[in-house]
Structures are given as structure tokens and as C-alpha cells.
Structure 1
Amino acid sequence: MFTGSIVALITPMDINGNICKKSFKKLIDYHISSGTKAIVIMGTTGESSTFTYKERISIIMYALDLAQDKIPIIAGTGFNSTSKSISMISDLENSGIIGCLNVTPYYNRPTQDGLYQHFKKIANSTKLPQILYNVPSRTGCDLLPETIYKLSEINNIIGIKEATGDLSRVNKIKNLIKKKFFLISGDDKTALDFMLLGGDGIISVTANIAALEMKTFYDCIKNNNFFQAKKINQHLNILHHQLFIETNPIPVKWVAKRLGLIFSDKMRLPMTPLKKCNQKILEITLKKLKLI
């Protein structure tokens, strides 16, 4: 359940900034029918930082209700406060989620020992599988391979979402960790090479609007059909880049609305709508890829 094409799901809102339940159901159904392996709810792409604690719990529970055991749900439970992460995981312990995705503590900029102690305490508070999430461009701190190795010795820390884009990390981590430990790419642009180096899957932004293509892309790699995998990756490469033409998830929400997957691309401040000039660029790309 922690391999394959996993979507970092956007959180659809109405024009008032509240959850759009109709769009949410449409998105979940889209990923079930497309064969997406699992859904991450309330991650970076889900704009978790603009929701209250209670809202985050509510959104995760609503996703579980919509999924109806047809697709696994991974909950984003990361905070820059260890105690808050522990509290959220405790509230979700028996909810039906298959695991937790915990981002490195943003803004605090802890030392490697601080990172180790943070994730260790969280893992020891629960029986749920824990996935580390390293994205220094967002958090201001980098979880180094040596620290990842130490954390992998904790039984329920079962993998990492590596979103540095640094492909050398794959071999460094694999050389340190000899037991099964899931290496999941968090960067669509480098996911092909990441998996060819031995990665297990991807938590994808692009899968929000090209779910079947991303699922097929992974299946091709799994089945050693590297020619077809490279062909799909080449086709989607422009999207992998342009979905970051502005800060994620601004572009992907606009595209999802343009494709009719959600009814509004509304976001809460400080996130703002996609600029008109970038809308034109993405419009051209969507037509080129025959998505519209």
C-alpha cells in the first residue's frame, strides 16, 4: 500500500473557502476509477497549513467516508510541534487510515538530533505506520540519510517521502538501510530516475490531473517496460514542470478546475489565484497534451 502512484490530493473549496463536498467526492471517485494506489490527505498539496486542527481531522474523516475502503488513505499529520503531531495521530489511531505522513518540523529548523527525537517520540506514541517527509525547500531543514537510517531502526517508521530532488539520496539511503524501507519520490520531475535507482513509488502532484497516466507510468516501471515508462514521462514532463510555475498547489488547483475535476480553484490566504499570464501558459499545455 506504500508503493505505486499515490496522489498528494488537493483540497477542493467553495468560493467562501469551505470544503466543497461535491468536488471532494468527485476527486475520490476519480482516483478510485483511475487505479491510484493511495491518497494522501492534508499534505502540502492539500494546503494543510491553512486549516485548523479540527478541520484537518474532519477532512481526513470525510475522505475515509468517501473512500469506503476502495482506496487507502494516508493522513498528513505533520506539525512543527511534536505534541500536536502526537495528538492528531492519537485522534486518528482507530479511524481506518493506513499510515501517517509526517513532514520535518518547519520554521523551527531543528538539529539532526532534534529531528531524530521528534520522529522517535511520534513513532513511539502509536502503532500506525509512519512515513517521514523530507522537503527542505518548504521547511528550512533537511533530514539527512544518516538520521533516516537511525529512524528506520524504529519498527513503525516504514519509509520516507524524499522531495529534495537529489537523486544521490536514493543510493545513500539504500546503502545505509539493509531492511525493507519504502523510498517514495516526492518530486514528479525526477520520479523516473528515482524509481530506476530503486525507489518504490511516488507521492505525486501531477496525479491530481493525470491519475491514470501516473498509475500506468508506475506499472510500466514495475513490469520492466522502461521504454513505455520513459515515453509516458516524456509526455507528462511539461506538466511536471508547469504545475510548479507558481507555488504548489496554485497551478494544479487551477488545472483541476479547468478539467472539471473541481468546481472552484479557491484557496485560503496567503495562497492566491493563478496569474492570468500563467493561466494562458497552462491552457496551451493542456491543449498540446489533448487534455482539453
Structure 2
Amino acid sequence: MKDVIFTGAGTAVVTPMKEDGTIHYEMFRELLEIQIRESADAVVVAGTTGEGSTLNDAEHIELIRFAVKCAAGRIPVIAGAGSNNTEHAVYLSRECEKAGADALLHVTPYYNKASQQGLFLHFSACAKAVKLPIILYNVPSRTGVNIFPATYKRLSEIDNIVAAKEASGNFSQMAKIASLCKDDLAIYSGNDDQITSALALGAKGVISVLSNIVPRDTHKLCAAYFDGDREESDNLQLHYLELIEALFLDVNPIPIKQAMRAMGYDVGHCRLPLCDMDPTLAEKLEAALSRYGLLKERRPVGSVTIHRPGNAGIVLARNL
């Protein structure tokens, strides 16, 4: 049985940008502090939501190093290290390990459309290059390739390939993976609207976009399930469905950054080729945020607002 990196809700944290497009490190520190204070079980840095694909290597590695320093061992920092170039993925893996990451997230090589053998060889090369535990990330809608259950089984036999973020949306496939791999491969839901369904198939939690804005309740959704309170877990899943749908009205991470700006977080905009939402969609997103009580007044300078549904938010003095 392999060690589990985390159980519960891991936040795929956004990378805040300044107006000139550079990384806003002070805002990033604030976001990490909020995640830790609000019970996030892990953070994923420089993944899809963190715009890892438009970070250059120096930015990517520095962002991981910065996150590790900020987290200071309080929660695991999982570094996005995927690439569709195996040599580059190996390089990023080694550099993220040197930067102090607790684990790596490796997406399937996109655009190339590798065969199952190609996927096996790619991930094997990445695993061989480091000692860190690796989470495989299967998201066919973005990459154009799917990891088959039999390939998962082969990969799970590699010591430091320990988990999978399954975002295929295919529960028959997820059940087959769980059946084949058992304790050799932990499964995390990659879809916020399917968390409880994944937990019912034995998933250890979720790698979440939603938890950027409601980290405590996303954690609670998982914790309630593991504590045996399935009704509370289901209620939270159903409660947030409308908000989750709104956060995917456009390509991630466009809506989550739009939402966070509307909530008062200075996260900036996405780097091209991703651009802001169509105004009509943005209006729908803000309407959803309003219905959940998440649209806040302008925050006092030097403060952190903790957003909790159903109240006016708690403003804490910034002491980062």
C-alpha cells in the first residue's frame, strides 16, 4: 500500500498576475494563507488553473519555490510539472523537486496524442527522474488523449506513481481503475460537480477549482463523507452545483479569475491566448456569485477577506 499525499480537498490555486502580466507574488502569498487558514488539504501550483502552460521555466520553478516557502510544511505543495515534451517534463520534474515540492502533477501529453505505450514510457521517464510521488492527470477534453485503465494498472506498479486526478467524467472507467489498481493508486476527482460520486468509488478527495473561493466548504464536503455523514456531503455537493456550473461557463481558469476579481481579490487576468469572458457570460457568473453571497464590498487595504457562504465574510488583519 502506497502513502497517500493528501485526503480531502486540494486547491488548484490560481496564479495572480499584475497589470503588466508579471506574477503578483504578494497576492499569491495571501491566497496561500487563505487556503491554509480555511482548511484546504493541499495546494496544486502551476497546474491548469495556475496557468502553468504560459509560465516560462524560470517563473514556473520560482512559483513552486515561493509556494513551498510560504506553506512551510503546513500543507502539501503539489507542483504541476507536465509537458507534451518528455525531456521538458523530466526537466521540470527535477527542478520542482529541487524547489522543495512535496509531489508532482503530470498531465497527459497534449496535442501529440500518444499511444498507450507512449503514455506509459512518458510517465515512466518522469517517475524515474525523481524520488517525489507523482499524480497522473487524465483530462481528455483538454489533451485529446485518455489513459486507459490497463495503462493505469501498469503505471501503478511504479513505486512513485501513487495517484491519479481523473477528469474524464467517465465513472465506469473510474470504477475499473479502482478495481484494477486498488491501494497502489489513489484517485482524486478532477471535476467539482462529481466529488461525492468519486468518493463513493473510493476516491481520496478532489483537486478543485471551486475551493479557490470556498475552501472550507470544499474541505468539509470531503471530510463529512469520510466521517460517515454522507447526507451532509451530498447536501454540500448539491448546494454548490449552480456555482460550479458558473465557474465553467468558459475555459478554466478564465471564470475562476473573473469570480475572484468580483470578490475583491487582485488576481489580475489570464495570459494570452486566454482572454476575459464574454460580458454576457460574466454577468451570469456574477449573478451566481451574488446568489451565493460571495460578491463582497471593496476590501480594506491590507486585509484578507475570508468568504464563507451565508455571512458577510470575516475581514482579518493581514499578517503574512
Shorter-chain TM-score category? over 0.9
| CA-CA distance at 1:93 after TM superposition | 2.4
1:102 corresponding residue in structure 2: 106
Q: Is residue 278 from structure 1 mapped to residue 310 from structure 2 by the alignment?
A: no
1:266 corresponding residue in structure 2: 269
Q: List aligned pairs for 1:173-192, cutoff 5 A.
A: 173-192=177-196
For the Cα contact (< 8 Å) 1:185–1:199, is it kept in 2?
A: yes
Paired letter, 2:278: K
Q: List aligned pairs for 1:93-242, cutoff 5 A.
A: 93-242=97-246
Distance in 2 between residues matched to 1:169 and 1:200, nearest whole Å: 16
Moved more, 153-162 or 163-172: 163-172
Moved more, 57-66 or 103-112: 57-66
Distance in 2 between residues matched to 1:61 and 1:264, nearest whole Å: 19
Q: Which runs of 5+ in 2 are unaligned?
A: 296-320
Q: Residues 110-155 of structure 1, C-alpha deviation per residue, up to 9 Å, x if partnerless?
A: 0000000111111111111011110011111111110000000001
Distance in 1 between residues matched to 2:244 and 2:275, nearest whole Å: 20
Q: List aligned pairs for 1:1-16, cutoff 5 A.
A: 1-16=5-20
Q: Give 3-state SS (helix, strand or coil) of 2:240's partner.
A: helix
| CA-CA distance at 1:96 after TM superposition | 2.3
Distance in 1 between residues matched to 2:290 and 2:271, nearest whole Å: 29
For the Cα contact (< 8 Å) 2:156–2:162, is it kept in 1?
A: yes
Paired letter, 1:51: L
For the Cα contact (< 8 Å) 1:3–1:182, is it kept in 2?
A: no
Q: For 2:248, which of 244, 267, 274 is the aligned residue? A: 244
For the Cα contact (< 8 Å) 2:135–2:161, is it kept in 1?
A: yes
For the Cα contact (< 8 Å) 1:15–1:264, is it kept in 2?
A: no
| CA-CA distance at 1:241 after TM superposition | 1.1
Paired letter, 1:284: A
| CA-CA distance at 1:180 after TM superposition | 3.6
Paired letter, 2:268: D
- The verdict on how the C-alpha distance between 1:221 and 1:265 changes in structure 2, with shifts beyond 3 A counting, is same
Q: For 1:58, which of 53, 56, 62 is the aligned residue? A: 62
Distance in 1 between residues matched to 2:263 and 2:10, nearest whole Å: 20
Q: Is residue 290 from structure 1 mapped to residue 296 from structure 2 by the alignment?
A: no
2:37 corresponding residue in structure 1: 33
Moved more, 56-65 or 101-110: 56-65
Paired letter, 2:32: I
Q: Residues 201-260 of structure 1, C-alpha deviation per residue, up to 9 Å, x if partnerless?
A: 100010011111101101111111011111111111111111110110000001111112
- CA RMSD after TM alignment: 1.1
How many correspondences in the alignment?
A: 291
Moved over 3 A (4+): none
Moved more, 81-90 or 36-45: 81-90
Identity of aligned residues (%): 37
Distance in 1 between residues matched to 2:42 and 2:112, nearest whole Å: 30
Distance in 1 between residues matched to 2:235 and 2:268, nearest whole Å: 30
Moved more, 103-112 or 163-172: 163-172
Paired letter, 1:271: L
For the Cα contact (< 8 Å) 1:167–1:190, is it kept in 2?
A: no
Distance in 1 between residues matched to 2:278 and 2:262, nearest whole Å: 14
| CA-CA distance at 1:95 after TM superposition | 2.8
- The verdict on how the C-alpha distance between 1:2 and 1:217 changes in structure 2, with shifts beyond 3 A counting, is same
Q: Which runs of 5+ in 1 are unaligned?
A: none
Distance in 1 between residues matched to 2:182 and 2:263, nearest whole Å: 43
For the Cα contact (< 8 Å) 1:184–1:203, is it kept in 2?
A: yes
Q: TM-score, normalised by structure 1?
A: 0.97
| CA-CA distance at 1:90 after TM superposition | 1.4
Q: TM-score, normalised by structure 2?
A: 0.88
Q: Give 3-state SS (helix, strand or coil) of 1:5's partner.
A: strand
